[in-house]
Amino acid sequence: MSGGTVNGAGPTPGGGAPGRAVGSVTGASAWTFDVAISVQKLSHAFAGADGRAAPVLRNIDLEVAKGEFIAIVGPSGCGKTTLMNLVAGLEPVQNGTVTVDGHTPRVGDRNVGYLFARDALLPWRTVLGNAELAMEIGGVDKAERKQRAMSLIADVGLEHSTHAYPAQLSQGMRQRVAIARTLATTPDLLMLDEPFSALDAQTKLLLQDTFARLWAHLSSTVMLITHDLSEAIGLADRVVLMSARPGKIKRVFTVELPRPRSIIDLPSEPAYHRISEELWHELREEVTR
Ligand SMILES: Nc1ncnc2c1ncn2[C@@H]1O[C@H](COP(=O)(O)OP(=O)(O)OP(=O)(O)O)[C@@H](O)[C@H]1O
Ligand SMILES: [Mg+2]
């Protein structure tokens, strides 16, 4: 096992979904855990308008345990998507190290599922055809593919639209199909970049809840980027707050709310308010800098 020890930016004992052994005690004080994502001393720069290298990320250290759900929040432009791209292998690492499951991340790794604000469904495929797509690419046989896709389509409440085309669906329905497509391959790692940000408030709440319910049956590690603090607190085991560009990790919040959680019922939890206030207080300093 590739183990890690808890530090400031590592998982905390008790994190993770119920029934998942995220940590186990070794020795007197240290916890060890299976590391899914390890980021060490990561710095990154892009060429600015004047052609000179402009720093985007500075000295990021982050370890994410297998099965852990982390949310990343921070001001616009602080490097959240860049960090995710580096972890996904979409962007070459310049300084520091990134490993996923102990290896240098590779583009096209089948064990990684993505979900973005825009669903990117294929317009010529039906709901079923789109839900089957990732499994088709992954070589899952036809009968199993259909059975899994149908089951997930029902899970996201689209059983009456199986044969509809994306153009016939609302944005929320399309995003449901994208969720079904992404979860159908039971990825080891899920990368979500503002997946619910294009939805209206009610649809967003319902889909966040649907996603949380479906994720609870998987063992996927999740890296979620969001600007929605209630989404971060409601879904994640830890919330990583980044500073304004160049992004550094400012603080890591452990969300000690029991699971299963209902995002819809969160406002009645005192712990939710406490984290929310502290998080917003620290984030505001960065947003207004
Ligand atoms: N390929 C690129 N070339 C040059 N600059 C880039 C590139 N990608 C991102 N940047 C710059 O890097 C900074 C961080 O971008 P990034 O997309 O990671 O921010 P973010 O935190 O995801 O922001 P948002 O919350 O608005 O999505 C921005 O200033 C952006 O303009
Ligand atoms: Mg972004």
Nearest Cα residue to atom 16 of ligand 1: 79
pLDDT given for residue 6 in this prediction? 42
Best substitution site from 82, 223, 286 to test ligand 1's pocket, by max atoms within 8 Å of Cβ? 82
Nearest CA owner, ligand 1 atom 17: 81
Q: What is the pLDDT of residue 31?
A: 58
Which protein residue's CA is at the shortest distance from atom 25 of ligand 1? 76
99: domain CATH number? 3.40.50.300
Shared domain check, 92 and 26: yes
Same domain assignment for residues 200 and 102: yes
Ligand 1: centre distance to CA 58 (Å): 14
- If asked whether residues 202 and 181 sit together in one domain, one would say no
Are residues 64 and 79 located together in one domain of the fold? yes
In terms of domains, do 193 and 265 share one?
yes
36 and 177, same domain (yes or no):
no
Q: Which ligand is nearest to the CA of 53?
A: 1
Final residue of a structural domain among 133, 156, 186: 186
Per-residue model confidence (pLDDT) at position 1: 40
- The total number of structural domains that make up the chain: 2
Give the model's pLDDT for residue 21: 36
Angle at 273 between CA 271 and CA 279, to 5 degrees: 100
Do residue 105 and residue 168 come from a single domain? no
| Ligand 1, atom 3: closest residue by C-alpha | 46
For residue 26, what pLDDT is reported?
39
Domain endpoint, select from 138, 170, 186: 186
Alpha-carbon distance of 57 to 250, in angstroms, equals 12
Residues 139 and 162 in one domain: yes
Ligand nearest to the CA of 91: 1
Q: Which helix (H) or strand (E) holds 215?
A: helix 201-215
Domain end residue (candidates: 186, 210, 231)? 186
Give the residue, by CA position, lying nearest to ligand 1 atom 5: 46
Ligand 1 geometric centre to CA of 80 (Å): 8
Which ligand approaches the C-alpha of residue 46 most closely? 1
User: Residues of the chain whose pLDDT is less than 70?
Assistant: 1-10, 12-32
The ligand placed nearest to the CA atom of residue 74 is: 1
User: Do residues 135 and 196 share a domain?
Assistant: no
Query: How open is the CA angle 163-110-9, to the nearest 5 degrees?
Result: 115
Going by alpha carbons, the residue nearest to atom 18 of ligand 1 is 79
Give the C-alpha separation, 220 to 216, whole Å.
9
Instruction: State whether 171 and 265 are in the same domain.
Output: no
C-alpha neighbours within 13 Å on the C-beta side of residue 183: 25
For residue 224, the CA-to-ligand 1 centroid distance in Å is 16
Same domain as 130, residue 12: no
What is the domain extent for residue 279? 3-111+188-287
Kindly list the protein residues whose Cβ atom lies closer than 6 A to any atom of ligand 1.
46, 56, 74, 76-82, 245
The pLDDT assigned to 118 comes to 86
Co-location of 181 and 193 in the same domain? no
Q: Considering only CA atoms, which of 169, 237, 228 is closest in space to residue 193?
A: 228
CB neighbourhood size of 125 (10 A)? 15
Whether residue 250 contacts residue 278, with contact meaning beta carbons closer than 8 Å, is answered with no
